[in-house]
Amino acid sequence: MKAEVETYIKQRDLRTALIAEKESIKDVANRQEADAEQQRDKKINTIRDRCFEETGRIREKAKALTEPIDQGIRELDPKIQDINRKIEFLKHREKISGKTVHQFDHESIKPYHDREIVSLGTLYEDEFTIMKLFAAENDRPKNRWTLMAIGDTLLQDLLKMPHEYGLPIHTSHWFIQKALKHLPTLEEIKAYVEGRRKDLMRGELAAYEGVKRAYLDTINNYSLEDFKPLLEPRKVSDHEAPVTFKITGIGYALEYRLYQGFYYRTGGEAAGDPFDYIEVDDVTYVRYCRPEQLRITETGNTMFGDWWSVSIRKDPRGIVFNRKNWERTIAEATSRIDEVNVGRRKPVHFNPDEVEWITPIADEFFSTPKL
């Protein structure tokens, strides 16, 4: 055997041994990696299970705390809703003042194509509502006639009445539209009406009569003047709602007052529910949030961008906005930005809002429920 062949064999054997050693090391590494991943997954699952348990506990605790609150709300709602309904009725009276219910004419209800339509008289009529019965030919193969109730009411904003589409007629501006029965012949439709006229639209008319009684009782016994304090922002003194701080930023300036445990702030004329607003020295403030809900949050990009922002807003994230937290946040952010700007050709833009502190707030206003 030539020497070079022997050398080749030794080299191949050594190479094989080295490969085997390499594979052994890889096998050990793979086993240890798999073990580490299993340990990781176990820890993750343990943490996840604990998280599920904790979130469940939090939800149950929150439910236990809110149940008596919900009960209190339910007890208050009927009287509040009764007054709200009265105000709605009185405003509606002004809205329909001078108006009359639409009257029927041949142009307002027409059948499709050359089909026939027949008036079957008045089903219901009073000073606010008119409802008539019509029978019209349809495209059904068997029950070729449709009985319909068509009408209008001045109280349409106060209750729901049926307004169906797909009736076999052309019609416009009618608030009440309902198909009542489909039968083969007009004679059967007439007989059906004759025997059941009192039962037609019974449920809808009962609901209407209830609303009508409440409406008449209200407009005959009350006026909007009786509820004037509920129709405009509550006027309070500077002492009752002190200015706590002012926030000035680019393009805006907001003033916050504390009233009945809520922050109210400037920001537009009163619109919507007057209970969401207060008026102090002819300036209107809208209710914004409770003190513990106003938070400081930071956002920005200093790695690939050149901006940093500190925001003050109602937010579940961030830390509670108060003087101590605000001054610490601004100091820390300013220090970080100064460090980042060292050596940068384009400095990070950081221009936080200015806060003017006016009236200190007791720590009790920043307390949060313990869950």
Q: Which residues pair with 265 in a beta bridge?
A: 256, 286
The string of pLDDT tens digits covering residues 243-282 is: 999 999 888 899 999 999 999 999 767 678 899 999 999 9
Does 197 have pLDDT greater than 70? yes
Instruction: List pLDDT tens digits, range 33-43.
Output: 999 999 999 99
pLDDT over 80 at 365, yes or no: no
**CA separation, residue 120 to residues 177, 192, 194, 238, 296 (Å):** 15, 11, 10, 67, 69
For residue 351, pLDDT beyond 80:
yes
pTM of the model: 0.77
3-state secondary structure of 268: coil
Question: Which two tokens mark 300?
Answer: 């920005």
The whole-number pLDDT of residue 345 equals 85
Alpha carbon distance 186, 195 (integer Å): 14
Q: Which two tokens stand for residue 7?
A: 């050398």
Helix axis angle for 202-221 and 3-96, nearest 10°, is 60
CA–CA gap between residue 44 and residue 50 (Å, rounded): 10
Q: What is the reported pLDDT for 106?
A: 64
Q: Per-residue confidence at 163, pLDDT binned at 50, 70, 90?
A: very high
- Give the separation between CA 311 and CA 353, rounded to whole angstroms: 8
Give percent of the chain with pLDDT exceeding 90. 75
> Position 41: which residue type?
D
Beta-ladder partners of 284: 279
- What residue ranges do the domains of the chain occupy? 1-80, 109-224, 234-366
CA distance linking residue 98 with residue 293, whole number of Å? 48
Answer yes or no: is pLDDT of 171 > 90.
no
Q: What is the pLDDT of residues 43-86, one digit of tens each?
A: 999 999 999 999 999 999 999 999 999 999 999 999 999 999 99
> Cβ-count burial of 244 within 10 angstroms (0-12 exposed, 13-18 middle, 19+ buried)?
buried
Q: Summarize pLDDT for 213-239 with one digit per residue, the tens.
A: 999 999 999 999 999 999 999 999 999
- pLDDT (tens digit per residue) in 105-139: 767 788 887 889 999 999 999 999 999 999 999 98
Please report the beta strands in the chain, taking only residues with DSSP state E, as ranges in sequence order: 109-111, 117-125, 129-137, 145-153, 169-171, 176-183, 234-235, 243-249, 252-259, 262-265, 277-280, 283-289, 294-301, 307-314, 319-320, 349-350, 354-357
Neighbours of 231 (CB within 10 A): 12
Question: What percent of the chain has a predicted confidence (pLDDT) above 70?
Answer: 99
One-letter amino acid identity for 22? K
Mean pLDDT score of the chain: 92
What is the per-residue pLDDT for 31? 93
pLDDT, one tens digit per residue, over 296-333 is 999 888 878 888 999 999 998 899 999 999 999 999 99
Give the other-Cβ count within 10 Å of 369's Cβ: 9
Q: How far apart are CA 102 and CA 161, in angstroms?
A: 16
Query: Residue 214 carries which DSSP code?
Result: H
